[in-house]
Amino acid sequence: MSPCACTSLLTCMLYLACISSTFIRATLPHQHPDPEAIVLQLQRKVNASITSRRQILETNPLYIQSKDQTPCQTGNPVDDCWRCDPNWANDRQRLTDCTVGFDQGAMGGKGGQIYIVSDPSDGDPENPQPGTLRHAVIQSEPLWIIFAHDMHINLKTELIVSSTKTIDGRGAMVHITGKGCIAIEHVENIIIHGLYIHDCEPSGKSDGDGLAIKGIRNLWIDHCSFARCMDGLVDITEGSTAVTVTNSYFTEHNKVMLLLKVQVI
């Protein structure tokens, strides 16, 4: 099988809706009663953004090269929401207003403190140092996690993320590789944005997935890139609900995504 690159905003959403409506309709109290309506709502937003951008380009062919970015339309409803604001970094938590699809209740670490990851090391997974990503994700309180600069984090074992966390890679190039990569299991309210996750290997209970998602509620994965993991790039299983994957690349891999017993809200 040739490598696959997935860039469509709708691809994962449509697949999740198909799984939910065909096999597991109305089996959980948190499941949305009409998943197809959510997909159609998203499709309308995408079409409106594309149409608006097309109209701007037709009336002003030099718009892309112009410094005048008003009005700003990217052709993508998520990017329309935040990327056009030159001061977006001053209010990073406004990203939660940009959620689309089934995860529109996902708040991540909104309302919590900003945690700045300044140390790319993963020296002692059992007792992580403050300033590392591992130290950030195990905290009990809501946190909005950002990165001080570009970094490559090579994990020694899987990174287990606790509830009410946003891992926000905007403004930096953050690569995550190594043992186990990221595990999100039986928690809620997680946002992962702008990470490069690749070359993940088995470790402990991990099969080597880029993202192993089990039994979660309210998860948004956006603008991430996944490649070359030993097992799946993204596995979503065990009755996970309210999960949306948007604007992400899946490359150089034959087992892109596993959806098993997935239910949406």
Nearest in space to 245 (alpha carbons), one of 12, 60, 40, 77? 12
Cα end-to-end span (Å), the chain: 33
Local structure of 98: helix, strand or coil: helix
Three-state DSSP at 134 gives helix
Q: Residue 261: what pLDDT?
A: 54
pTM of the model: 0.80
Q: 46 CB contacts (<8 Å, ≥6 apart)?
A: 9, 10, 76, 77
Strands (E) located in 92-222:
113-117, 143-147, 151-155, 159-160, 165-168, 174-179, 182-185, 188-193, 195-201, 211-214, 217-222
pLDDT computed for residue 232 by the predictor: 86
pLDDT at residue 225 in the model? 96
Task: Quote the DSSP letter at residue 22.
Answer: H
What whole-number distance in Å separates Cα of residue 229 and Cα of residue 246?
19
Residue-by-residue pLDDT tens, the chain, 265 positions: 444 444 444 344 434 444 443 444 445 555 666 667 767 777 777 777 667 666 665 566 555 545 454 557 677 888 888 988 889 999 999 999 998 877 677 899 999 999 999 999 998 999 999 999 999 999 999 999 999 999 999 999 999 999 999 999 999 999 999 998 999 999 999 999 999 999 999 987 888 899 999 999 999 999 999 999 988 899 998 888 888 999 999 998 877 777 755 544 3
**How far is CA 174 from its chain centroid?**
14
The CA-CA-CA angle for residues 90, 91, 94, to 5°, reads 155
Residues 37/13, Cβ–Cβ less than 8 Å? no
Q: For residue 258, report the phi and psi dihedrals to the nearest 5 degrees.
A: -110, 125
**Number of neighbours of residue 87 by Cβ within 10 angstroms:** 6
What pLDDT sits at residue 28?
Answer: 55
The closest alpha carbon to 232, from 258, 250, 206, belongs to 258
The domains of the chain, with CATH numbers, are 11-29+92-260 (2.160.20.10)
